[in-house]
Structure 1
């Protein structure tokens, strides 16, 4: 009965509640930042960007551990054993959650090496003691759990029992190692393990709630900024991005080309085949253009401005480079006609192209110019491009001004 009372006291003491509150608060912040960092990096991101994000995640966890240590300096109500156990529990919660939430090999490496780098674990006396075999077993199981956590995150998200089993094994292995080094009373070990599971249960609930919230936010952002029919950026997003890009390139130290195009005789597709086929034409064109904008290092931004009109922003590209991209789009459209209900639909586009100028006062000046160039292409027979006032057939070279 004495041991049970001690376990209950440990789990529900003021210090335990305060520790849990601080730890869970830090976990909530880490979860939010993790989602923000996840949005900034992908498989195609450059190595330096991935490396910077990984280092930022390590720093985030270390700051969280530092805050927990600072909190414990203010806790004077409790035995040294109890406070030390609570501190270890809080740190283990941060370590486990860091493995789970971040896709970071540096955090995996830190977890694997940590049992050898905290006092007095680095002392060789541990391996000379009577419980060396217990340390080896606990450490090997811990490494297996860490490897499983890193490699099976999707399964852990879906299957709660695997998540719970992993965290339980993680806690048992660590508390076995801590017992070997510090000889905590068994009642304290059991109490700390129960407390660790309670922490992780609350953390799991918070993670699931925040994940639902963040994904709902992402879905809303997609609806607000992307066209539902074609999947490309919409006019609202264009209004925001165009202003940002204009200010970025306003000093004219780097070029920015602006392209506006629409689909030739689009009304005839709708009138002859129906609006569903017209929608297919819009999707076909937008997907081909979007693909061509990501060949090499083009990195252009495609927007559906309205109806069959689209706009492309090409940061760090001049009109000569823009004409090369347009010719590539034209060739791909010819090579990949749209076949629907046994009909071959040959789709052509007409373009207006300009470049941001030093005397442009706002993006409105650029828009009026490129819009006029687009209509110049239409007036000259369509299936053409007008670049800075010069109307050309696809494949023609821009005349260089003397």
Structure 2
């Protein structure tokens, strides 16, 4: 027993003696870079398409980093696959797997593990046991990667669960990576896992403190961007988003549409039933609008512009598709009245729709066109949609 413990301790000592401080400094650098990227890009990716592209790119970055790092190690080792710093590479993979919330990384990780297994199979004479071990490792990598990615928030919130999945995920990878190590014992295998767990635990605690501070800041910042009553983005957020959309059109002709609407006879609801009912009307209309947007394949953002007036920016869309979205919102609002103490309050909206045009000198040109269309609807019987003087009854 003492001999086993002695050999294990010796293997752990050897694993930590190799560039451990160097690895730790790189891990700290990783945290700093990640913090800067998250902080600097926190408000840039508002549209669904932008977030999807960032998700794909974000999932690819750690994989590319690891491949380049390993290619460099192979080059300086005379073409021989190098594993001494693989723990650091696993730290990079696991850290980004949890923090990026990138579904794409699940696929990338599986492809990488398959590539390693194929590489080992062609370069080394693997017996049936080793091949079976590698295949089991790939299956466990796929399952654990999927679970960790889908449950990252729950895992980050509990240290015991975090350590459990850290061990499962790390062990799965080493079931494949161990195939590339010749003449290694079970003690070396355990030592490498221990080093990975300790490095990742340090990363977890450092990350926890950094992210907690950042989350508090972002919550305060996000609260300032939203309307307190309805929960949708406020006028200031609309001004910023609309200017970004206009700039994107000028740079690469990325089109967008603007839907503006307000609630018909809203003042009478306030005067007749009181401001509490008026608030409920605003909240109900907002919920119906958000529901339609969540079910649509269009990339739209809703804003409360003031009072009973709302706006929807529809990215990468022409006016015809925006018109169909406006119809869905208007019909949804009309079919869901507010019930108050037995009284059924029927709700309708008046809508104006337009799209960005080549001769628009600034976003205000788009805004004025949509606003004029909105008032054309209001002045012609309400509960309707106007597009370039065309009136559509709802």
Query: Which TM class, normalised by the smaller chain length?
Result: 0.7 to 0.9
Once the two structures are superposed, what CA deviation does each residue of 1:34-72 show, in whole Å capped at 9, x if it has no partner? 9979x9799x879xx67x955763453232453477589
TM-score by length of 2: 0.72
Cα RMSD, aligned residues only: 4.6
Taking structure 1 as reference, are residues 166 and 366 closer, same or farther at Cα in structure 2, changes over 3 Å only?
closer
Name the counterpart of 2:24: 20
1:340 corresponds to = 340
Number of residue equivalences: 374
Relative distance call for 1:175 and 1:23 in structure 2 (3 A) is farther
Deviation at 1:306, TM superposition (A): 0.6
* Residue in 1 that maps onto 2:147: 152
Provide the residue aligned with 1:161 in structure 2. Answer: 160
In 1, are the aligned partners of 2:352 and 2:374 still within 8 Å (CA)? yes
Extract unaligned runs of 5+ from structure 1.
76-83, 396-402
Q: Show structure 2 runs of 5+ residues with no match.
A: none
Matches within 5 A, 1:206-217: 206-212=206-212, 215-216=215-216
Residues 1:31 and 1:186: Cα distance change in structure 2 (over 3 Å): farther
- In 1: Cα distance, 2:161 partner to 2:252 partner: 56
Structure number with larger C-alpha Rg: 1
| Alpha-carbon displacement from aligned partner over 1:318-372 (angstroms, at most 9, x marks no partner) | 3x66555544444333322221222101112233445545544322344345445
Which residue number in structure 2 is paired with residue 223 of structure 1? 223
Deviation, structure 1 residue 309: 1.2
Query: Matches of 1:327 and 1:147 in 2, distance apart?
Result: 43
TM-score (norm 1): 0.71
Q: Is the 8 A contact 1:376 1:386 kept in 2?
A: yes
* Pair 1:60 & 2:62 matched: yes
2:109 equivalent in structure 1? 107
Verify the 8 A CA contact 1:28 1:206 in the aligned structure 2: no
**Structure 2 residue aligned with 1:400:** none
From the superposition, tell whether residues 113 and 159 of structure 1 become closer, same or farther in structure 2 (CA, over 3 Å).
farther
What secondary structure sits across from 1:302 in the alignment? strand
Deviation at 1:15, TM superposition (A): 2.4
- Where does residue 202 of structure 1 map in the other structure? 202
d(CA) in 2 for partners of 1:209, 1:166: 20
User: Which of 89, 108, 113 matches 1:91?
Assistant: 89
For residue 317 of structure 1, what is the aligned residue in structure 2? Answer: 318
Looking at structure 1, the residues matched to 366 and 201 of structure 2 have their Cα atoms a distance apart, in angstroms, of 56
CA-CA distance at 1:22 after TM superposition: 1.8
